Structure 1
């Protein structure tokens, strides 16, 4: 087991911004799209960077690399000011808000690991407890939690990684990745200015949905709350300790794999109007493998969840660089495991997810919210709930802080439920990279199903 030693804990303040009067506070209300995630565990991610011989010593790291990271972090927080704040829910308010006070800051932990960097940053099987130690612990028992925590870990003479823990009600995956890419840009170019495609859009009035939907989502929060008596509590559900039996792997579906699966779906389905995007095909395949891995009774209930981006799906489009959440959870509810466990499991999964994705275009946000609330209330105890985090369109592998692009990136927070992560592949166009955490005995079966299904 690798040893992690904390060498420094600091608070990084946003650089002075003449457009924001530092004697005043900033209040940013949560929107409809933020509210679903108020009781959700933080989004956690780790990005690995290999260093060359000249830069990887302790001396070089602490005298050159760390000061650059800290300086550029302060600079990027000037643009992403809400990340220095905290969540608050005052008695007179109908919903929470982000509050940034003068001198607010972000906690940055600096640590050192004696792990083998090539293994822990690789794609093979790794103990999840070692990956989890690379992201900072997030305060779950706090009624006014901070919204971001960071950890930089050095692997002497090998490389370093950046661990990010962000409150999901403040940023969706696209915003988290844009923040990382913005930080990398300022560090690499030693500037204080961001290009337009990385500059966050902070105006909340662009989220134009009926106000009545806020109440619907706040009502459903009770289903995710440990504190039924205090609906306004911002404490997160307690996080279970990760079993030492849990391992992580990173797999790939190449463009050739995706095309092969697409052709298989066309051949096996009796329907002609399927939506066969990479997202649909990859998720259908992974979900089928996951249900088969669990095995058990064919009548047991299962559901698959994903978050759809609504930046281009509202009546008034939302800017791509919008800061916050503009995703909403959608689900495939009411199915039994047997639908996915037979020879036709993959094509059934393709048809179900295809119908769900096509349904986004034919339903407005009110109807989709109703479907989500109703589906959530009908979930039976013991349901196998699978989900996907991330996207193959975020472009995180372009985040170069000045020492080359990442060698790997992992969404750590998938280790708490049956979720897999999805991103673009590092070393080639098209296809997807998939992260997954399971107990070792389950993982062996999953890998076997995954590889055999592609070979056959």
Structure 2
């Protein structure tokens, strides 16, 4: 995979950040978050970015004006996002719906989309220019819940970047909000899917009772995992249909029908474990982020835009993962996903209350998030579909993102962050696996050369 070109943006002119408020009056009320929303692991900011090409049909429309107006209209329906978080007793988070608004930055860059070349994948070059961290805006309490920057490129293209307080929404909920904004751009007066708050559905029971195993919240101590980010390498890998078919061929026949996510995740967990070179007896973990909306009976309301994800874990020793075939890790990934039930989610909410809303453990863990169904690639603000849309970086979670590579081939982009020596070994493991498949008569293309 070729390295991205350097210094793409030498100058960005930013206007002073402004607050965009709902275009109509909204209720002033206090709304508690759910006990899934306010766990420590979600008290973070998540960056999303979308790149759009120049569209002659939109030549006379200013993207900043268009998006500002759509945002103000959308906030009428998603008005809690214009409020501020407060913290109550026992660290309980609540939203005070003040209508203060979300932060918005207007910017112009001296770059064209073409200058980014094929570097439109995480880690996004010049992210700090395309999504400016307004001083004092990135906290949890009493801070804007959403920051948006729209950057005009000198070619006529635009960059839409967003930073969301994760306690408010997961990827599905954020997609719902952005889809509503796109509908407003196209002339809608109300979202086609009405937003639903109802965070009480995911509140802890009274009394709380942990009924399931939740190894994702085990309190583990392992200093070997505390490698500074400066000593890690962040890369993206593209897997096209031929690559995924080759990986699927490594699975036993009775598991080859499994989803692309299951097969790819199991394969990468094995390669990653081998690359890290842990002690064979070390317990390694896969944490699969599962959208649990449809695991409830009845399912959560369609417009529910809060967090409804389970962080389900499967475990095995490094030796077992390395020695066994793909079928071994594939079975573990499928079991982890199946563990997320309605009772599991209620048990998580109860655990949060009992144990003080702990962070999920990342010790010897591979955390994977599938955002291929979040439909960021469909976000059309009038400039057509984006050239890239999705998470701007993947330092903690490994994201699987819909992506079209330089050859016009549709597939899955996977972000990965590893200590630099381990990343080098990971690439060698990946390359050797695909070479073996090709020598065996397959037609796989190494993901290392696909971006």
Q: Into which bin does the TM-score normalised by the smaller protein fall?
A: 0.7 to 0.9
Q: Distance in 2 between matches of 1:446 and 1:53?
A: 43
| 1-structure distance, mates of 2:409, 2:35 | 35
Give the SS at the match of 1:424: strand
**SS state at 1:403 partner:** coil
Q: Secondary structure at the residue paired with 1:360?
A: coil
1:74 corresponds in structure 2 to 72
Name 1:5's counterpart in structure 2.
12
1:195-215: CA deviations, max 9, x gaps? Answer: 23xx31223344476244499
Q: Distance in 1 between matches of 2:130 and 2:375?
A: 22
Provide the aligned length of Structure 1 versus Structure 2. 413
* Cα distance in 1 between the residues matched to 2:301 and 2:342: 22
Distance 1:222 1:312, change over 3 A: closer
**Counterpart of 1:169?**
167
User: Using the alignment, how far apart are the partners of 1:37 and 1:364 within structure 2?
Assistant: 18
Equivalent residue for 1:401? Answer: 381
Deviation per CA, 1:381-419: give whole Å up to 9, x if none: x9322112242222221111111101012313422x2x3
Residue of structure 1 equivalent to 2:401: 423
Partners of 2:187 and 2:182 in 1: CA distance: 10
The verdict on how the C-alpha distance between 1:165 and 1:409 changes in structure 2, with shifts beyond 3 A counting, is same
Greater shift, 42-51 or 127-136, is seen at 127-136
What secondary structure sits across from 1:33 in the alignment?
A: coil
Partner secondary structure for residue 312 of structure 1: helix
2:261 to 260, 275, 279: 279
Structure 2 partner of 1:229: none
Give the distance between the partners of 2:209 and 2:375, measured in 1 at CA: 31
Deviations 1:20-40 (A, max 9, x none): 4xxx51322111221225653
Corresponding residue number in structure 1 for 2:239: 252
Q: Is the 8 A contact 1:424 1:432 kept in 2?
A: yes
Does the aligned pair in 2 maintain the 1:397–1:406 contact within 8 Å?
A: yes
Contact 1:43 1:166 in 2 (8 A): yes
**In the aligned structure 2, how far is the partner of 1:253 from the partner of 1:379?**
32
Alpha-carbon distance in structure 2 between the residues aligned to 1:312 and 1:128: 33
Alignment of 1:184-263 (within 5 A): 184-187=182-185, 189-196=186-193, 199-207=194-202, 210-213=205-208, 243=230, 246-254=233-241, 256-263=242-249
Counterparts in 2 of 1:128 and 1:193: CA distance versus 1, 3 Å: closer
Shift of 1:14: 1.0
Q: Deviations over 1:76-114 (max 9, x none)?
A: 1112111111110134x7721111114x11101123334
In the alignment, does 2:95 pair up with 1:98? yes
| CA distance in 2 between partners of 1:73 and 1:316 (Å) | 32
Give the Cα separation in 2 of the matches to 1:75 and 1:317: 28
For residues 332 and 406 of structure 1, do their structure 2 counterparts lie closer, same or farther at Cα, with a shift above 3 Å needed?
A: same
Q: Show the counterpart of 2:142.
A: 144
In the other structure, the counterpart of 1:228 is: none
1:156 corresponds, among 154, 157, 167, to 154
Label 1:214 to 1:308 Cα distance change in 2 as closer, same or farther (>3 A). farther
**Which residue is equivalent to 2:103?**
107
Question: Does structure 2 retain, via aligned residues, the 8 Å contact 1:111–1:153?
Answer: yes
CA distance in 1, matches of 2:159, 2:263: 32
Q: 1:450 aligns with which of 427, 430, 436?
A: 430
Measure, in 2, the Cα distance between the counterparts of 1:125 and 1:166: 19
Separation of aligned partners in 1, 2:301 and 2:360: 34
How far residue 172 of structure 1 moved from its aligned partner, in angstroms, is: 0.6
Which position in structure 1 is the counterpart of 2:3?
none
Matched, 1:346 2:326: yes
Partner Cα separation in structure 2 for residue 200 and residue 126 of structure 1? 30
- Check 1:323–1:186 CA distance in 2 against 1; reply closer, same or farther (3 A cut): same
Deviation at 1:318, TM superposition (A): 0.4
Residue 300 of structure 2 corresponds to residue 318 of structure 1: yes
Q: TM-score, structure 1 length as denominator?
A: 0.77
Distance in 2 between the 1:81 and 1:75 partners?
10
Question: Structure 2 CA distance, aligned partners of 1:100 and 1:174?
Answer: 22
Counterpart of 1:48 (choices 29, 47, 51) is 51
1:141-170 CA deviation, whole Å, 9 max, x = no partner? 564333211112222115221111111111
Q: Distance in 2 between matches of 1:53 and 1:440?
A: 43
Please name the residue that 1:31 is paired with.
Answer: 34
Distance 1:447 1:253, change over 3 A: farther
More deviation, 158-167/365-374: 365-374
What corresponds to 1:264 in structure 2? 250
Change (3 A) 1:454 1:108: same
SS in structure 1 at match of 2:314: strand
Contact 2:112/2:154, CA 8 A, preserved across alignment: no
CA distance in 2, matches of 1:176, 1:378: 22
User: Structure 1's 253 and 202: CA in aligned 2 closer, same or farther, altered over 3 A?
Assistant: same
